[in-house]
Structure 1
């Protein structure tokens, strides 16, 4: 069956600065986490288009690439929640890219909010999209919001590899050191394992 979606085009960074954010992700994240970041961008972009949202594509791409830096060893803060340490790293990246202070704050805010239970789309469309996208990719939440062919082709082009077990272990490590964090809530919920099983079942149903 011919491809409906050009996934290689979908994952292209929208700007040179966005491309540098992808370089950062590839430098400090393992392959499974990089693919998660890229899938999250595609899911966010697709949902935004389907809802007719006007978003800052560069900011959203940078946030998608850097949102999980806080679970990687070089950026894992001892006390700070991982989404806050990742947000701080993204703020620093944005400062180096020459973004104004307000936009640095925005990318940090979007990353911090991706761990919220929900984000108001009118208040923060980029935060709303990243939260929804990462929830789909981690927990297989609300898959009906995305075209099934898109899900199939993105999952094939950007395979999950060992993302489920690796991410579960990273979140459990965060939870054990930071018991009041959002990571602890996620770890206790079982959503990572259930999501990984749901993605595996979806993949098996297509084979």
Structure 2
């Protein structure tokens, strides 16, 4: 698997999601969102997992939008806020309600401990890919050459410390959220030990 083998959707919704993420996410978070899609799509292709590339791409580009100040909610966890943004985005893109709901589900589920691939392949792939990008989980499942290509095109730009600061802020304000659980269970150590940063 090489970077050139990864299918990048070229649809109005995909282009719109990239435009939104570019407008609102700082560079490190934007690159993280892009890598989240690339890791997910590559893993799906390498493991014979059929997935909807447009749905996965839009969800990946918007999955952390709830961490940026313009969309940060003081009442719900960031992944739920991001799911609501995706629902609204999907409505503007002309998606049927069912597809808007799916995008919201994929974003919310990326914070789950595990997503059943048979029930939600896009959610499974995004949960897996974000775990890889943030803490290096399952790194060995990705060829070294692919990892190098992705990181060269979309460098990390200090993502680890920036992301950890976001999660610690979420945890302080939303102590029952999954972000808070992540922080309490050693997020700092896992993020700082991520082999993708070394």
Q: Normalization by structure 1: what TM-score? A: 0.90
Q: How many residues align?
A: 197
State the Cα deviation string for residues 177-204 of structure 1 (Å, max 9, x = none).
Answer: 1101001011123335423432222xxx
SS in 2 for 1:73: coil
RMSD: 1.6
Q: After the TM superposition, which residues 111-190 of structure 1 pair with which residues of structure 2 at under 5 Å, given as runs?
A: 111-190=107-186
Q: Which piece of structure 1 moves more, 146-155 or 34-43?
A: 146-155
Give the alignment partner of residue 101 of structure 1, picking from 97, 104, 125: 97
Aligned: 1:199 with 2:189: no
SS in 2 for 1:176: helix
Give the equivalent residue in structure 2 for 1:40: 36
Tell me the distance in 2 between the aligned counterparts of 1:83 and 1:193. Answer: 22
CA contact (8 A) 2:3 2:146 kept: no
Give the equivalent residue in structure 2 for 1:204: none
Q: After the TM superposition, which residues 6-45 of structure 1 pair with which residues of structure 2 at under 5 Å, given as runs?
A: 6=3, 10=6, 12-45=8-41
Residues 192 and 136 (structure 1), Cα distance of their counterparts in 2 relative to 1, 3 Å cut = farther
Q: Normalization by structure 2: what TM-score? A: 0.94
Tell me the distance in 1 between the aligned counterparts of 2:75 and 2:116. Answer: 28
CA contact (8 A) 2:44 2:125 kept: yes
Residues 193 and 18 (structure 1), Cα distance of their counterparts in 2 relative to 1, 3 Å cut = farther
Tell me the distance in 2 between the aligned counterparts of 1:189 and 1:14. Answer: 39
CA contact (8 A) 2:7 2:41 kept: no
Residue segments in structure 2 that go unaligned for 5+ positions in a row: none
